[in-house]
Structure 1
Amino acid sequence: MRPQAEIFQPVSEFGWGTFVPSRFTLDSYRALWNGDFPLALRNSAFVAAMTVICGVIVNALAGFAFAAFDFRGKNLLFLLVVVSFMMPFEAIVLPLYVMIQSFGWTNSYKALIIPEIANGMVIFLFRQFFASIPRDFYEAARVDGASWLYIFFRIAMPLSWPTIATSSLMLFLTQWDSFFWPVVAASSSDYAVVQVAIARNINFEQNDWGSLFASTNLAILIGTIPFLLVQRFYVRTLVSGGIK
């Protein structure tokens, strides 16, 4: 909230002036709204929302299958799921890019959303929760003629709101903080997300520190709001999942 020329002036002498500007201005924020940053906010919000909606359903179905069914290779497959969220993304980015390029998905929302839907950690959390539900619930519903999808949507999912809230938060923050993959898969400015828009304030010729700090503040603020709303569910789910 300082004028561009005064951003680094109070750094040499540490004091109140380091934190409280002598002259307040919103010029940096006005410059953001007059540029491409609102488009980046909309892109990130859309990508994050679609990832959360699709991701919760897909990962919950996978977790329910691991918890409710017995099938050949179940333990091995679940081990692969657990290992998947320990693997650094940089290790798979090249084959992943080759795949989405072969599908013709580069510079599209599909490239940003679909690879992030399946999440090993979220599957693990749903599996831990669904495994804690007594199997008598499922068996009683089956005796009454309920299908497995009916049991999933009408019995299992309504009981799992803490896990749904936690998973939604994890998927949202993963997409909101995403930088490397959007740069690789969707380099067009029409599909730029928040973190890419922030990074574009830095280049070899000139750094726009005012816009850089202002856009970072907005990204942090928006990313913090959902965490504050569901933090108690987040902590409860991680603790219970670890104990189980």
Structure 2
Amino acid sequence: MSVEVNTEAAPFETLAPSSVKQAPNGRRNTMSRAILTAVAVVVGAIFILPAIWILIGSFRPNIDVLTTMSPLSWQIIIPTRVTFENYVGLIVDNGFGLALLNSLVVCLASVALGLLISAMAAYALTVYRFRGREVVFAIIVISFMVPFEAIAIPLSQLFTEWGLGNTLIGLILPGLGNGLAIFNLRQYFQGIPNSYREAAMLDGASEPRILLSIFGRMSGPALTNSALLIFLGQWTAYLWPLLLVTDKNLQLAPVALASTFGEHAASYGQNFAGAVLLSLVPAVTMFVLQRFFGRLSIASGEK
């Protein structure tokens, strides 16, 4: 009995190199990235061109701000004449420098006191168990959902009756009770293990020391975010100082900036200069504090 053995080798499949197969996909990916990059550049230019126009317009003579817009040309972003008269006239002649100083005083005082009050309220709502705690927290959440414009007029009447009109205290007080800051801090404090507080109490630490030394040191990002919320709320406030303050020496920067538009004339150059100065302070603040935003919170596990 003979057994036939097929000694013919199996045909080998001719396989294309992987690089050949991936080449079309690589070209498509490169084209997609190029298209997306071009779209991103165009969209970014659409958003940034008005800001560049305002910045350049703040260094133009007032008569050149609008005349360079028709017909459209490169002169709209490349000034033919550069002057600092808008900044000098705004800060010195119109008293915008004093208004900026008033805004800084109000904002810094509001941040210092408001952050302390918000941290204490968030700490109490986090660590203490008392009847009606959730109701109190719900009221705080609802408070920052109500537009301030809805209560600004009756509140200004109350402040005037209390003798707080035309005072820096009257400008500071509404910014202290920031419900959004309390909400933000409470949510962060809830991630701190309660065993830290219990261990500190066994060592004889008081509640203020626990708040400052443990919760405060572990809540850098939340404190920074809350401070920015309070600062920006006061820095951009317009309606409240307009209602409460009639003394020009106590005007805040947004109200003083609005005075550059008169009934029959408007100084666009000074208005642009004021807008640049008002935008510069929050931008610098965000740039300085941005390193706090990326910090990780503490570990949630306990040993």
- TM-score normalised by length of structure 2: 0.75
Residues 90 and 33 (structure 1 numbering): CA distance in 2 closer, same or farther, change over 3 Å? closer
Separation (CA, whole Å) in 2 of partners of 1:189 and 1:88:
27
Superposed displacement of residue 234, structure 1: 4.6
Separation (CA, whole Å) in 1 of partners of 2:287 and 2:101:
21
Aligned to 1:7, the other structure's residue is in SS state helix
- Name the structure 1 match of 2:117: 58
Superposed displacement of residue 46, structure 1: 0.3
How does 1:1-244 map onto structure 2 within 5 Å?
A: 1-35=59-93, 36-231=95-290, 233-234=292-293
Separation (CA, whole Å) in 1 of partners of 2:280 and 2:204:
48
What per-residue deviation string (whole Å, max 9, x for no partner) do you get for residues 29-79 of structure 1?
111232201100100000000000001100000011111111111001101
Separation (CA, whole Å) in 2 of partners of 1:231 and 1:177:
20
CA RMSD of aligned residues (A): 1.5
Query: Which blocks of at least 5 consecutive residues in structure 2 are unaligned?
Result: 1-58, 297-303
Separation (CA, whole Å) in 2 of partners of 1:45 and 1:201:
20
Retained in 1: the 8 A contact 2:61–2:85?
A: yes
What per-residue deviation string (whole Å, max 9, x for no partner) do you get for residues 139-177 of structure 1?
111122222112111211111111111111111111111
Aligned pairs, number: 237
Moved beyond 4 Å, runs of 4+: 234-237
More helix by share: 1
Superposed displacement of residue 236, structure 1: 6.8
Retained in 2: the 8 A contact 1:201–1:211?
A: yes
Query: Which blocks of at least 5 consecutive residues in structure 1 are unaligned?
Result: 238-244
State the AA in 1 paired with 2:220: W
Separation (CA, whole Å) in 1 of partners of 2:80 and 2:265:
25
- TM-score normalised by length of structure 1: 0.93
For CA contacts below 8 A with separation 6 or more, give which structure has more relative contact order.
Answer: 1
Retained in 1: the 8 A contact 2:89–2:270?
A: yes
More displaced 10-residue stretch of structure 1: 53-62 or 7-16: 7-16
Q: Percent identity?
A: 34
Retained in 1: the 8 A contact 2:221–2:292?
A: yes
Separation (CA, whole Å) in 2 of partners of 1:149 and 1:140:
15
What per-residue deviation string (whole Å, max 9, x for no partner) do you get for residues 174-209 of structure 1?
111111000001121011111011100112121111
More displaced 10-residue stretch of structure 1: 26-35 or 189-198: 26-35
